[in-house]
Structure 1
Amino acid sequence: MPSSNAPAHPPQLPAADVTDDLWRWMGEVALPFWATQGLDPETGLFWERMTADGAPDRAAPRRIRVQARQIYSLAHAAVLGLYPQGTALALGVFDRLLDAAEAPDGAPGFVQALAPDGAVQDATRDAYDHAFLVLAFAWLSKASGAPRVAAALERCLAFVDQGLGAADGSLYESVPRRLPRRQNPQMHWFESVLALMELGHPGAAARAATARRLFDEKLYHRPTRTIGEYFAEDWHPLPDAAARIVEPGHLAEWSWLLRRHDALAGLPPCAEAADLFQAALRWAQPATGLLVDEVDRDGPVLRGTSRIWLQTELVKARLAMAEEGGAAEREAAIAALTTMRDHFLGKPWPAGWIDQLDAAGRPVPGPVPASILYHVFVAVAEAKRIFGMSPV
């Protein structure tokens, strides 16, 4: 992994070289750090974030979605052979998570956040969180074969169906319900049921088809080939400027998910995946190719900063195109991987990342969020799957 002052690699760097570098960094540097120093020995849960000097932020609450993301990353890495000890570590946090966050008040489902000492801080049952819990439990079940994990997965699915499921097949935001409705929980639910589909879970294909239908009928804005972020109760646009807010990173993420669903379901590649990706590129920084954080679908940039997670989704979309395409798509994916690595990873310390750059490409001061491990891991795992590695 290059140091923070290392020169950028040229875009034409061979794919295997970039993949080798990122794969080894993930397995030898990032995952070991976040699995050990990233774990609070007192509560048995993962830290929410680290400070710029690599110390835990002890005052930060523990969001359940972050616990789920870390469990998922360790379990999937173990299945891939990248970090075999990840299974045992993930199981330990899984057990603690169930003790602290599943139905502590007697109601089904998982609470949204725990206080630093492990007590319940927010008892809301959140759809976004439960999507990630399904993703985590699916992969941990695959990695461990533990019946208690499979049982927790089924309880989580039952709660989503009974407590969060709407008549149109979408998920309500939460229990208790709140507005506006957002595309983001629906997107991550789609991601989670695609994982179930990949792992052969019964009924997963039907769940994925329902989530895909919601995208087709409610979320996709065909005139601009974009997806809005916020909606009214009935999925109609909001009556103000919030209806036009678009996050280019989510366009790239949906592009990747649609291509993945097409492949898993045996469908021909859909036009919407390509259209969403091209729409995302409308708001890429000319000098770097980085996506900006938030825009108005009619054109104006609302937030010209660039968080790292958007770039991981750009990488994944590029990789999906490379898998289907030729040399040009392959070179574009290599360039995106290299740009992500050189602008964000291995900083401000070897296992960390820069969370956000300002409009001029300078790091925005702030903590290093643990939640980003999931984003980077998936991008690196996809690069490994598609490009492989060079011989040792």
Structure 2
Amino acid sequence: MVDPSTASAREAGDIVAQLKSFVIERSLPLWSGEGWDRTTGGFVDRLDQDGHADRQAPRRTFVQARQIYCFAKAAQMGWYPDGKEIALKGLDHLLGKARAPDGRPGFVHRLGADGAVLDARRDTYDHAFVLLALATVYSLDRDAQVRSEIDAVLSFVDTKLRSPHGGFAEGVPATLPRRQNPQMHLFEAMIALFDATHDLAFQQRAGEFFGLFMASLYDKQRQALGEYFEEDWSRIEPVVVEPGHQAEWAWLLKGFERITGCPTGRPRGELLATALRYQDAATGCLVDVGDTAGNITHSTRRLWPQTEIAKAWIAQAESGEEGAADRARDALARLERHYLRHPVAGGWYDQFDREGTSLVATIPASSFYHVLCAVTEAEQVIG
């Protein structure tokens, strides 16, 4: 009889190679094949539970950008020979359909399957992912036209989205409450843009978001990142805590430290410790939402927080923390065991309730960014 703890250790030990194979052999072919609309162009937003494209579902701009990122990153890693071609094809579609189709600058929020504008809002979160996609495509061969697109998006963000209270508004039109989430992904984009261009201006831009994080987003007394804020960045009580975002910021802070030399060990450790307060007792997976007292307020558990806690541990491993690599492998093994064993090869379950019942029948394309990013980080640091 096999000792369960030994089996678990073996599963965790092999997990990076196993997930790399999952991405290369299953997910990339799935999303470049069934996940691409050969009739109208662009990536589909989701597959049904049998792995067939839902071609009538609206196309969200940030999902198009995330899929471009995935294929460009796969090409950068040398994982997928067709990755660059698919990323460029996706980028051409995004620029042709979602950029200023109504004559106003910026990218619209959502398109119909036929390319018609369904929501003309200019959303800051969307533009963060457009920048991430452009940065990753630019890293492949430093194409001057792609750099020009980067500069154009940055100009729009700076002139139309910047808030007089610091950071950036939710979009055009501006809405309340303000969320930390768009700021976090703009921070991610600035780190990626520095990596792609080596332009010191992106160090400075990233530094602005680090300053916003330390001054307004992060509650040093509670050692927790808040989600929702008033216009002047005062916290909305009771503070909502999303464990996945605590972990995601921990990983991003390590990226900021890498490109600037600014030490971030203390907030990273605090964020990780806070995230770990909100684990499902049965599976060890992070739940979706809690409060600052450490109580779980929403016991559902989505896929993406599991990738982010793995990335947080990978960041700690990169910093030399003892045992962090093993904790990262354990988190990746939970991701694989609970979310990636889907009957559709290369697909995933997106969310479960406390009893382990799947709550989302479709396979959302939006999750691929999280999965692929976690696996590439694992390969580079602990693989």
Give TM-score, length-normalised by structure 2: 0.95
Which position in structure 2 is the counterpart of 1:56? 53
CA distance in 2, matches of 1:145, 1:8: 48
Which position in structure 2 is the counterpart of 1:256? 251
Alignment CA distance shift 1:339-1:8 (3 Å): farther
Which position in structure 2 is the counterpart of 1:178? 175
CA distance in 2, matches of 1:283, 1:12: 23
How far does residue 61 in structure 1 lie from its aligned partner after superposition? Answer: 0.6
How far does residue 138 in structure 1 lie from its aligned partner after superposition? Answer: 0.8
CA distance in 1, matches of 2:181, 2:264: 23
Structure 2 gaps of 5+ residues are none
CA distance in 2, matches of 1:124, 1:278: 37
Which position in structure 1 is the counterpart of 2:221? 223
Identity of aligned residues (%): 43
Name which of 68, 71, 88 aligns with 2:85: 88
Task: Say whether 1:213 aligns with 2:211.
Answer: yes
Q: Secondary structure of the equivalent of 2:249?
A: helix
Alignment CA distance shift 1:278-1:10 (3 Å): farther
Task: Say whether 1:28 aligns with 2:25.
Answer: yes
Task: Say whether 1:377 aligns with 2:375.
Answer: no
How far does residue 318 in structure 1 lie from its aligned partner after superposition? Answer: 1.1
Structure 1 window deviating more from structure 2 (265-274 vs 141-150): it is 141-150
How far does residue 18 in structure 1 lie from its aligned partner after superposition? Answer: 1.4
Which position in structure 2 is the counterpart of 1:302? 297
Larger relative CO (CA 8 A, sep 6+): 1 or 2?
A: 1
Alignment CA distance shift 1:176-1:297 (3 Å): same
Q: For residues 56-75 of structure 1, what are the structure 2 equivalents within 5 Å? A: 56-75=53-72
Structure 1 window deviating more from structure 2 (258-267 vs 29-38): it is 258-267
Task: Say whether 1:136 aligns with 2:160.
Answer: no
Which position in structure 1 is the counterpart of 2:282? 287
CA contact (8 A) 2:45 2:59 kept: yes
CA contact (8 A) 1:196 1:204 kept: yes
Q: Secondary structure of the equivalent of 1:54?
A: coil
What letter matches 1:122 in structure 2? D
Which position in structure 1 is the counterpart of 2:235? 237
CA distance in 2, matches of 1:103, 1:123: 9
CA contact (8 A) 2:71 2:87 kept: yes
CA distance in 2, matches of 1:364, 1:8: 30
Task: Say whether 1:147 aligns with 2:144.
Answer: yes
CA distance in 2, matches of 1:181, 1:219: 11
1:294-321: CA deviation from partner (whole Å, max 9, x where unpaired): 1122333221011000100011001111
Give TM-score, length-normalised by structure 1: 0.93
CA distance in 1, matches of 2:319, 2:294: 30
Alignment CA distance shift 1:270-1:134 (3 Å): same
CA distance in 1, matches of 2:173, 2:323: 48
Q: Give structure 1 regions of 4+ aligned residues with deviation exceeding 3 angstroms.
A: 7-11
CA distance in 2, matches of 1:321, 1:85: 33
1:351-374: CA deviation from partner (whole Å, max 9, x where unpaired): 100101111233224211000000
CA contact (8 A) 2:49 2:361 kept: yes
CA distance in 1, matches of 2:6, 2:120: 47
How far does residue 332 in structure 1 lie from its aligned partner after superposition? Answer: 1.2
Which position in structure 2 is the counterpart of 1:278? 273
CA contact (8 A) 1:16 1:387 kept: no
1:164-210: CA deviation from partner (whole Å, max 9, x where unpaired): 11235401100111111000000001111011122213410000000
Structure 1 window deviating more from structure 2 (310-319 vs 169-178): it is 169-178
| Aligned alpha-carbon RMSD (Å) | 1.7
CA distance in 2, matches of 1:305, 1:370: 20
CA distance in 1, matches of 2:141, 2:80: 13
- How many residue pairs align between the two structures? 379
CA distance in 2, matches of 1:269, 1:209: 12
CA distance in 1, matches of 2:13, 2:164: 47
CA contact (8 A) 2:165 2:233 kept: no
Alignment CA distance shift 1:295-1:350 (3 Å): same
How far does residue 98 in structure 1 lie from its aligned partner after superposition? Answer: 1.1
CA contact (8 A) 1:169 1:211 kept: no
What letter matches 2:83 in structure 1? G
Name which of 335, 342, 362 aligns with 2:337: 342
How far does residue 46 in structure 1 lie from its aligned partner after superposition? Answer: 0.4
How far does residue 287 in structure 1 lie from its aligned partner after superposition? Answer: 3.0
How far does residue 10 in structure 1 lie from its aligned partner after superposition? Answer: 3.6
What letter matches 2:21 in structure 1? R
CA contact (8 A) 2:165 2:231 kept: no
